[in-house]
Amino acid sequence: MSRVLVVDDDPQLSRALRITLRAAGYEVVNAADGRTALHEAAEEHPDLVILDLGLPDLDGTEVLAGLRPWFTGPVLVLSARVDSHDKIAALDAGADDYVSKPFDMGELLARLRALLRRGLGEADEPVVRTEHMTIDLVAKRVTVDGAVVRLTPTEWALLSELVRAPGRLIGQRQLLQSVWGPAYEKETHYLRVYMAQLRRKLEPDPARPRYLQTEPGMGYRFTP
Amino acid sequence: MSRVLVVDDDPQLSRALRITLRAAGYEVVNAADGRTALHEAAEEHPDLVILDLGLPDLDGTEVLAGLRPWFTGPVLVLSARVDSHDKIAALDAGADDYVSKPFDMGELLARLRALLRRGLGEADEPVVRTEHMTIDLVAKRVTVDGAVVRLTPTEWALLSELVRAPGRLIGQRQLLQSVWGPAYEKETHYLRVYMAQLRRKLEPDPARPRYLQTEPGMGYRFTP
DNA sequence: TCCCGGCGTCAAGGTCCCGTCAGGAAGGTT
DNA sequence: AACCTTCCTGACGGGACCTTGACGCCGGGA
């Protein structure tokens, strides 16, 4: 089950949250002020943090700022303030949701479920490897059989658009739009020319593409 | 920049949202009822959907249910209802956030930012699985018994129209209209030809279809 | 029994799409 | 100024795809 860190200095509310969350099947860790909150967050590896902005020692946004650089899970902010500026500030400081007090406990649980449903995103790999080649998306470098291959800017833009979604079909309109711009949506001929160049540079057998595949009438697909 | 689909039947609110979102740098696509909303969501690949629950044709939760099987981006629900039960129902139906009308535009934008900030890292595949095959609606890829099956654009358009509403009967007119266009409403022969091709490619026994079923005189149905 | 509408199958045209090659224009470098 | 890289554009052959027609099957109604 998921682990929730509750940061609140009001004993009554804190206790109510703990009981409700336990009943809903969560593990609960408590913190009554900002400093222990940061400590507990690092120690207990919670999946989600419920953070009350009204804390005795630190401002809630400071806790948020201390949390966000390294904590990747969702943070739900509780506050007695209903002013929009507070909400906007908290959300832009890294909060994923903002609930004003007093709140309905059932709604809070539903918002927790919605946040946790989104799951934990894994770190995406910036370099794509296949049997024959490696494509480094951040270094903008491609090697085929160990040798570095030079790509022109247009070739690279096209390739990276395909490689960013491995296995996914990308429509020709989307490719044209993101490589050449919205005005070139109909110039499908560009695609044919540059796909041919990419295949000549990357494919083991350019006549029968293994990685850069055509889906006639729809678009292209990179399959690792 | 991110693309937002706004589903709302109130022209004033819809216009206000469009202007505000455009000014904030988003691409905006509009839909005034549930059916065009589902269609536009499939067609335009928005990064996020703003969904008003009060629609003329479908209940908002039905739109949510039609969206969720394959749409992975965040959905923000707007509603005039402030009752907690409505919020809980919408959130558990797949919404990622719930904002009651009237709302502050700045807060809405902040909630949008929070949702998009989180949504970009994730890439869950919305696949429809049966015993024999998997249908990936985003990657536009179908596998039968582990082997990739190539579909032509028309075959794919027809299949996805059926698969997006699993178990539901889709009339021939609707199929013809959404695949070939409004001028082809009477060309039921096309349907027979392409359904046969789909069955030959997908069904274990094309003579006795298990997934793509005919409802004589009415339409077709995909049953998982 | 015969007729008829709806459905499934097959095959053949014709159109559109795709890959390839090559030549010329534009911009930057030596 | 000459050279190079890169991008755009046209022509052409081949293949994939869509359309269309013909035919057989089945069930319901005259």
Mean pLDDT by 10 residues, chain B (224 residues): 91 94 92 89 88 88 86 92 91 94 94 85 68 92 95 96 91 94 94 97 94 94 94
* Protein-strand D interface by C-beta, 7 A: A 150, 152-155, 180, 187, 189-190, 193, 216-217; B 150, 152-155, 180, 187, 189-190, 193
Count of positions (residues) in chain B: 224
Which segments in chain A show pLDDT lower than 50?
120-125
Q: Which residue, A37, A21, A35, A18, is CA-closest to A75?
A: A37
Helix B84-92 to helix B60-67 angle (10° resolution) is: 20
Which two structure tokens, joined as six digits, stand for A198?
């990419």
pLDDT value for A121: 41
The predicted pLDDT at position B124 comes to 52
Coil, strand or helix at B218: coil
Instruction: Report the CATH number of the A123-222 domain.
Output: 1.10.10.10
| Residue B165 confidence (pLDDT) | 87
CA distance B217 to chain A (A): 31
Distance CA B44, CA B37 (A): 10
Asked if A91's CB is within 8 angstroms of B110's CB, the reply is yes
pLDDT value of residue A138: 67
Question: Is B156 near chain A, with CB under 8 Å?
Answer: yes
- Chain B residues touching A97 at Cβ < 8 A: 97, 114
State the pLDDT at residue A175: 93
A12 in B contact zone (CB under 8 Å): no
CA angle A95–A98–A99, rounded 5-degree value: 150
Q: Where are the domains of chain A?
A: 3-120, 123-222
Only one residue has tokens 């902010």, namely: A77
Residue B175 backbone dihedrals phi, psi, to 5 degrees:
-60, -50
CB contact under 8 A, A216 and B92: no
Chain C footprint positions (protein CB, under 7 Å): 6-11, 17-22
User: For the residues of A10-23, what is the DSSP string, one character each?
Assistant: -HHHHHHHHHHHHH
What CATH number should be reported for the domain whose range is B3-120?
Answer: 3.40.50.2300
- Specify the long-range contacts of residues A122-130, CB closer than 8 Å, at least 24 apart: A124/B121, A128/A163, A128/A166, A128/A224, A129/A224, A130/A211, A130/A224
B28 by DSSP, 3-state: which?
strand
Nucleotide nearest to B189 (CA to C1'): C7
pLDDT of A70: 64
Tell me, in Å, how far CA of B217 is from C1' of C4? Answer: 15
pLDDT at A69: 61
Q: Decide if A47 contacts A23 (C-beta within 8 A).
A: no
Indicate the DSSP class of residue A184: G
Q: Which residues contact A153 (CB under 8 A, 6 or more apart)?
A: none
Whether chain A has a CB inside 8 Å of the CB on B57: the answer is no
Measured from the Cβ of residue B11, the count of other Cβ atoms closer than 10 Å reads 10
